[in-house]
Structure 1
């Protein structure tokens, strides 16, 4: 039966940064050596709710409960908002899992720290004992930060051990950043107190101090010598390069892995283990990369010349080991191996030394050792090694050794440049990948678009195995997968929810081979948490942090877009409901005002008004007058809905009142008077700009029809010829202008016995077929001519039938008025 591989979770604030990167590398290497799975989780601050309390809803608690067997907490990177008590509660919240801490001593939790106090002690000792400084300024870290306080304590202890007073004027605090280092240095300078050296609690503040000192005209190291702490990558490349205390950060990671594995096996781990630090001397203190000659005195020689290699082998090996800062447990026996190769070279095996040096540089590069340090090794060998005494041609051998040292320096320089160039290239390539991907993430407005972008961009970022899952409930107890990738290809997402503690869909983290993954929260800020992403751990470290930010931003944008869409849809539904309600009211107005009885002497009348889905403002009326005459009216208010219905109501009321008051009135004058009232009401009271077509016809019993206004043509189908004549109206719209009297004229037509008069709205002639062809006036006339002899109700119905057949879903009202004239007698 196969035993399940054990898993460790490593919790840290970020994977980007000199300290974080090296610490993660140490944990990763140790996990690989012990064949255990590693889940590196980062990206969320630790907050304490109160003394001894911690927020248990944090993303890290999902990781801790997600099937791991132990945890390593990089406490020094997570403690800023929680402090020691908060971190103690945080670690205790994972019980009964074994937990250990790196970078902070936490009561009740096995902790691993560098000897912070020793680091500043050896810095001060170097400045005082080796350089003779007497007034040493100190740039400390934030008050209450454990490591910062330990380093400040080391500074005070070193002064006290040398009977040197601690001057508070030479002490200032920063926040471990270059800007705060500048500010702290200026604060000391402003106090007007003299100093000849500066020790800083970290490298970045030291670099900020150097900038300020240069601005003040002080030379480094001639006027002031400076020392930092941490040996960050930037410390090697500044001008001058920075003397600093190097932390064995990788060793801390390895020790923590070993401890948590022992705890998983039931063994005890030390409550606190301090790891020694070492001083790396560079240009800012005047030492530069020391050659090692000062590390151990050369062995005595009767003639004052270097002894043969064999006579000083042990001392020389020790000197070489001290010349290069190497992580503990790395490059075991390298100095002895290199000296053995040199002995073989001196014995005549040409090329042995350079091959051994190349192998050493390759291994040192893999371990993260600064290769430039080996220039000091060559300087030391050149000073200490001489040709074998039995060699007869000492001059030739000396020349050969000089060529060997020269070739060695070239080899080291080339390897160092290659390493730095490769690192820069990797960063540039990662930056390009992030830049291209960022443009896509910025435009993601939906989850399908985001999935497509992940499928195209993640393989280019060197990811091959990815799971992105989103919370499925308000309590964030379950998740549903959004995106899955296996072997660099997107795979189908299973439509299932799973417990959030699983981090990824079932089976994703289960594999026969060892797994190392990075787990990060998918969130926007510290409040809006969307889900969790699990990615393989082989990509450039900067990509993880940028991807975390872009994923959270993309999901926030998609969420906002969904919210906007929902609001728009809601507004559209409300608007549609409003229009529906208005249309219902307008339809009631429109249909209620239709005359119930169509009766004018001498006219057989039939009419219909059929409102569309969005009711417009069609109007028709039949008004008999005393003496056997009457009025016919037809019109159409532009627009739809309630406003159109109200305007149509105004028109009907005014026409009825004006014609009843003066049955023999001029249609043009009625139109002009009506327009003045409509224009004022629509503009001033309704605050709208609608207008309407309107045609009024005054019928006399003898067949004369006087008409005025602007509407569709009047159709008269002759009983004698059975052909239609289209008589245009020549007025203007009502409501468009304040005064139209000068543009409105009466016109006349005369009906003969049996003639058919047809009035209609544009819903008839402008009805469109599925092919977008209008029904048209010509087709309407053809229909009328075909049924001219039929009763007017049949004519009306036939027109309606043809129009509806032409356009099954009319989008405008249809109004038809048909009248047949019967002459007197």
Structure 2
């Protein structure tokens, strides 16, 4: 259909002037967000690609996409990168990996790189966006796993709340009710959703969550260790921990062992992600598996569609998760004694 569609068709469908459509395509930052999104939806629906714009982008294209992650040292992102790279290379794209380091200024820097045509698009895996950018025109972007509720952007994600509830129910099924949760940074949407899943599962089981058993971390090994110290300082007994990622879970195991507690004899632990940390630690970690490489594959496919103008602004793909049961969880002690809180 694209060959028979012209700019007047887009304008008529969107209910705007031809000049507004032209401005949206050439200078999107100058168009109100709601108008811009309406025009781009019509462009995608009609398959419209203006000849001049197509020539412009062929001249300017870098054939490079940036994958911007929260923390490049986290092995979770390496498997995602493999999936992105597999699809990108077969489509003639190069992939650069950027490290946001949870710093809004660095996110701003990489977005500017795309705006200045040093790359064609940006895959965002940082959990947040600088506030000053949320209402500004954005370059071609796709979000992976850590959706941004204030923006309509193509997104690949998982059901974080459902997965967290699944992990908590596993511990409940083993007889644990005093279950601590090591969360990620709040108010990041992903962290909030996993906290909600933990609370939901406990509430449904008739074991209302004790807020003193929720400790916030930053997804690092060190924050998992610090969380165990904080739980002990609060003096609230617990027999199990659900951590928001594998690194924090392993940090918690290390700290519990240093305090003389055994996993899973004294404390059962569940992580999240199923990274190399999960299989390399002692004992091997029960965890929620995310399909990391497949996430990379799908997010790069969305990016290619986005760059071709064939993708709706709010396209969303939900990926499956599963619980992988290993050796870090065991039935609660028959007497219900919360050993960890007594050490």
- Normalised to the residue count of structure 1, the TM-score between the two structures is 0.30
Note the residue ranges of structure 1 that are not aligned, 5 or more in a row.
Answer: 288-825
**Cα distance in structure 1, aligned partners of 2:279 and 2:291:** 16
Is 2:206 the partner of 1:150?
A: no
Structure 1 contact 48–86 (Cα < 8 Å) conserved: no
Counterpart in the other structure of 1:40: 96
Structure 2 contact 113–119 (Cα < 8 Å) conserved: no
Counterpart in the other structure of 2:122: 71
Measured at CA, do residues 17 and 64 of structure 1 come closer, stay the same or move farther in structure 2, by a change above 3 Å? farther
The correspondence of residues 786-825 of structure 1 with structure 2, limited to 5 A, is: none
Which secondary structure state, in structure 1, belongs to the residue aligned with residue 328 of structure 2?
helix
2:87 to 7, 20, 30: 30
**Cα distance in structure 1, aligned partners of 2:254 and 2:66:** 37
Measured at CA, do residues 122 and 104 of structure 1 come closer, stay the same or move farther in structure 2, by a change above 3 Å? same
Q: State the Cα deviation string for residues 1-53 of structure 1 (Å, max 9, x = none).
A: xxx698241231465431221111111011134x231231425668658xxxx
The correspondence of residues 409-424 of structure 1 with structure 2, limited to 5 A, is: none
Counterpart in the other structure of 1:275: 319
1:120 to 164, 185, 198: 164
1:198 to 241, 246, 250: 241
1:88 to 111, 126, 134: 134
The correspondence of residues 95-244 of structure 1 with structure 2, limited to 5 A, is: 98-106=140-148, 107-129=151-173, 131-244=174-287
**Cα distance in structure 2, aligned partners of 1:273 and 1:221:** 36
Measured at CA, do residues 223 and 244 of structure 1 come closer, stay the same or move farther in structure 2, by a change above 3 Å? same
The correspondence of residues 664-675 of structure 1 with structure 2, limited to 5 A, is: none
**Cα distance in structure 2, aligned partners of 1:138 and 1:99:** 32
The correspondence of residues 567-582 of structure 1 with structure 2, limited to 5 A, is: none
Which secondary structure state, in structure 2, belongs to the residue aligned with residue 220 of structure 1?
coil
Q: State the Cα deviation string for residues 511-558 of structure 1 (Å, max 9, x = none).
A: xxxxxxxxxxxxxxxxxxxxxxxxxxxxxxxxxxxxxxxxxxxxxxxx
Counterpart in the other structure of 1:725: none
**Cα distance in structure 2, aligned partners of 1:210 and 1:145:** 25
Measured at CA, do residues 8 and 182 of structure 1 come closer, stay the same or move farther in structure 2, by a change above 3 Å? same
1:202 Cα offset (Å): 1.3
1:136 Cα offset (Å): 0.9
Which secondary structure state, in structure 2, belongs to the residue aligned with residue 283 of structure 1?
coil
Is 2:305 the partner of 1:266?
A: no
1:59 Cα offset (Å): 5.2
Measured at CA, do residues 147 and 87 of structure 1 come closer, stay the same or move farther in structure 2, by a change above 3 Å? farther
**Cα distance in structure 1, aligned partners of 2:217 and 2:102:** 22
Which secondary structure state, in structure 1, belongs to the residue aligned with residue 96 of structure 2?
strand
Counterpart in the other structure of 1:311: none
Measured at CA, do residues 234 and 37 of structure 1 come closer, stay the same or move farther in structure 2, by a change above 3 Å? same
**Cα distance in structure 2, aligned partners of 1:117 and 1:127:** 16
1:123 Cα offset (Å): 0.7
Measured at CA, do residues 186 and 12 of structure 1 come closer, stay the same or move farther in structure 2, by a change above 3 Å? same
Measured at CA, do residues 45 and 197 of structure 1 come closer, stay the same or move farther in structure 2, by a change above 3 Å? closer
Measured at CA, do residues 218 and 156 of structure 1 come closer, stay the same or move farther in structure 2, by a change above 3 Å? same
Structure 2 contact 114–121 (Cα < 8 Å) conserved: no
Q: State the Cα deviation string for residues 157-192 of structure 1 (Å, max 9, x = none).
A: 111222221111211112212222122112222232
Measured at CA, do residues 55 and 250 of structure 1 come closer, stay the same or move farther in structure 2, by a change above 3 Å? closer
Measured at CA, do residues 275 and 237 of structure 1 come closer, stay the same or move farther in structure 2, by a change above 3 Å? same
The structure with higher relative contact order (CA 8 Å, sep 6+) is: 2
The correspondence of residues 295-314 of structure 1 with structure 2, limited to 5 A, is: none
Counterpart in the other structure of 1:734: none
Structure 1 contact 118–276 (Cα < 8 Å) conserved: no
- Normalised to the residue count of structure 2, the TM-score between the two structures is 0.69
Structure 2 contact 66–119 (Cα < 8 Å) conserved: no
Counterpart in the other structure of 1:589: none
Which secondary structure state, in structure 2, belongs to the residue aligned with residue 71 of structure 1?
strand
Measured at CA, do residues 46 and 128 of structure 1 come closer, stay the same or move farther in structure 2, by a change above 3 Å? closer
Measured at CA, do residues 70 and 206 of structure 1 come closer, stay the same or move farther in structure 2, by a change above 3 Å? closer
Structure 2 contact 65–94 (Cα < 8 Å) conserved: yes
**Cα distance in structure 1, aligned partners of 2:103 and 2:251:** 30
Measured at CA, do residues 42 and 167 of structure 1 come closer, stay the same or move farther in structure 2, by a change above 3 Å? same
Measured at CA, do residues 212 and 72 of structure 1 come closer, stay the same or move farther in structure 2, by a change above 3 Å? closer
Measured at CA, do residues 12 and 102 of structure 1 come closer, stay the same or move farther in structure 2, by a change above 3 Å? same
The correspondence of residues 387-406 of structure 1 with structure 2, limited to 5 A, is: none
Which secondary structure state, in structure 2, belongs to the residue aligned with residue 285 of structure 1?
coil
Measured at CA, do residues 252 and 215 of structure 1 come closer, stay the same or move farther in structure 2, by a change above 3 Å? same
Note the residue ranges of structure 2 that are not aligned, 5 or more in a row.
Answer: 1-57, 332-343
The structure having more radius of gyration, on CA atoms, is 1
**Cα distance in structure 1, aligned partners of 2:64 and 2:284:** 38
Task: Indicate the RMSD between aligned Cα atoms, in angstroms.
Answer: 2.9
Q: State the Cα deviation string for residues 119-162 of structure 1 (Å, max 9, x = none).
A: 21111111112x12121111112222222111111101111222
Measured at CA, do residues 87 and 24 of structure 1 come closer, stay the same or move farther in structure 2, by a change above 3 Å? farther
Is 2:66 the partner of 1:10?
A: yes
Structure 1 contact 8–72 (Cα < 8 Å) conserved: no
**Cα distance in structure 2, aligned partners of 1:211 and 1:24:** 28
What is the total number of aligned residue pairs between the two structures?
269
Structure 1 contact 6–36 (Cα < 8 Å) conserved: no
The correspondence of residues 42-61 of structure 1 with structure 2, limited to 5 A, is: 42-43=98-99, 58=109, 60-61=111-112
